[in-house]
Amino acid sequence: MASRHDNNIQLNEDGGLRHFLTIEGLSRELLTQILDTAESFASLPGRPVKKVPALRGRIITNLFFENSTRTRTTFELAAKRLSADVLNFNVSTSATSKGETLLDTLRNIEAMHSEMFVVRHNQSGAAHFIAEHAAPGVSVINAGDGRHSHPTQAMLDMFTIRKHKPDFTPLRVAIVGDILHSRVARSQILALNTLGVTEVRVVGPRTLIPTDARTLGVHVYHDLEDGLRDVDVVIMLRLQHERMDGALLPSEDEYFQLYGLTNERLEVAKPDAIVMHPGPMNRGVEMDSEVADGPRSVILQQVSYGIAVRMAVMSMCMQTHKSGELQNGGQS
C-alpha cells in the first residue's frame, strides 16, 4: 500500500524540523540539537531582559482542544520570550461537535496568518491530522494528542536528565505508573532509546502496561523494587483518578503501597539517582512528600527547563525558507 510516512512529515527537504509531532523518526543528532539549542535559552531567566527578538512579528496560536492551563502557559511564555505574538484558542470539544469540523477551525485560524500552531487534543493522531492539512509554511507543534505523544515534555525531561548526567549512554531509566494511558511515557521511551541509554524499564501492574510493551523497546517489571534496582533515573507518572473507575486499579491506597515512591524504596536505586515527575503530582499516591521535596527530586527544574526547551523547538520549526549551511561570516 502507498503508506504515508508520518515521520518524514516532520522534516522539510533539508532534514530540518518543520513540525514537531512525535519523537518517532527523529535522529539522535536532531534530538541533541534541540537540547543544545535549549541551552542557549536556559540562561535567559538570569537576565533582566528575558526575551530574544528571534520571532518578533510572528504569530503563534495555541490550539487547545483539551484544557491545560499549565502547558498552555508554558508555551505562551516560550513564545513571548521569542518575542512572538500569541493567540489562544480554547476550543472545547463540544463546540466542534456543534458542527464545525476540526478542519474548518483550522482554516479559520490560518486566515489570521498564524504561522505556528501548538495543538493539544484528546485523540491520538490529532496533531498529525492538523499537520497533514496545514498550509505550506505553517508549522505544528504537538502539545499532547490522546495517548500517543507529548514530545516537548519528553525533551524537557531529557534536558533535565542531561543536566545531571551528561552522558546518556550508561543510564538505566525506570518509568513507573500508568504507561498504558500515558503519551508522556511513550515519548520518553522513544527519546531515551534514540539518545542511546543502556536500558529503559517500565514498572506497573499489568492493567496499566500496554499489550506488547516490549515492542516499544523496554523491559517490563511488575515489582517496584526489582524495577528500581540500580537505576540512575526514576520517572514517576501521574495516576489519574478515572483509573479506579475503569476497574484498572482497586484504590490509590493500594497503588501507593505497591508503586509509590518513598526514600526507603529508593535505596535500591543508584545513590546519585534522580527522581522526576512530569506533573502535576499527587502527593501520597505516586510519591510521598519526603521524596518530592528531597535532595534527589529535580521536579521543579523540569518545570523551569520546559520553557527553554519549548523555545528551542519553536525557533527550530519557524522558518520561511530552508536553511543552508550557516556561517557567522555570512552577514558580518
Alpha helices in 195-294 (DSSP H): 224-228, 242-245, 252-259, 263-266, 289-292
Closest CB to other proteins among residues 49, 111 = 49
Does position 271 interact with other proteins (CB under 8 A)? The reply is: no
Does position 102 interact with other proteins (CB under 8 A)? The reply is: yes
Sort residue 49 into left (φ over 0), alpha (ψ -120 to 50) or beta. Answer: beta
DSSP secondary structure letter of residue 207: G
- The whole-angstrom separation of Cα 38 and Cα 295 is 25
Does position 77 interact with other proteins (CB under 8 A)? The reply is: no
Sheet of 172-176, strand order: 219-221, 199-203, 172-176, 233-236, 274-276
- The whole-angstrom separation of Cα 38 and Cα 256 is 35
Identity of the amino acid at 247: A
Q: Which of 110, 125, 258, 296 binds other proteins (CB under 8 A)?
A: 125
**Minimal distance, residue 102 CB to other proteins, in Å:** 6
Kind and range of the H or E element at 312? helix 299-317
**Minimal distance, residue 310 CB to other proteins, in Å:** 14
**Minimal distance, residue 266 CB to other proteins, in Å:** 29
- The whole-angstrom separation of Cα 17 and Cα 150 is 16
**Minimal distance, residue 161 CB to other proteins, in Å:** 18
Does position 100 interact with other proteins (CB under 8 A)? The reply is: no
Residues in contact with other proteins, counted by CB under 8 A, come to a total of 66
Q: Give the list of residues 6+ apart from residue 21 with CB closer than 8 angstroms, or none.
A: 6, 9, 10, 127, 128, 131, 140, 141, 142, 145, 149, 151
Buried-exposed string 7-19: b where 16+ CB fall within 10 A, e elsewhere? eebbbbeeeebbb
- The whole-angstrom separation of Cα 122 and Cα 131 is 16
Candidate segments 99-107, 164-172, 237-245, 268-276, binder of other proteins by CB under 8 A: 99-107
- The whole-angstrom separation of Cα 266 and Cα 275 is 9
Candidate segments 40-48, 67-75, 161-169, 251-259, binder of other proteins by CB under 8 A: 40-48
Closest CB to other proteins among residues 216, 268 = 216
Q: Which of residues 141-200 bind other proteins (CB under 8 A)?
A: 145-149, 183, 186
Candidate segments 41-49, 67-75, 275-283, 294-302, binder of other proteins by CB under 8 A: 41-49
Q: How far apart are the first and last CA of the chain?
A: 51
Closest CB to other proteins among residues 123, 282 = 123
Q: Which of 10, 26, 58, 276 binds other proteins (CB under 8 A)?
A: 58
Does position 316 interact with other proteins (CB under 8 A)? The reply is: yes
Q: Which of residues 294-313 bind other proteins (CB under 8 A)?
A: 312
Radius of gyration of the chain (CA): 20
Q: Which of 121, 162, 172, 265 binds other proteins (CB under 8 A)?
A: 121
Closest CB to other proteins among residues 129, 256 = 129
- The whole-angstrom separation of Cα 161 and Cα 171 is 10
Q: Which of 13, 212, 242, 245 binds other proteins (CB under 8 A)?
A: 212
Residues that bind other proteins (CB under 8 A): 1-6, 9, 16, 24, 33, 36-37, 39-40, 42-43, 47-49, 51-55, 58, 82, 101-103, 121, 123-126, 128-129, 145-149, 183, 186, 210-213, 215-216, 312, 315-316, 318-324, 326-332
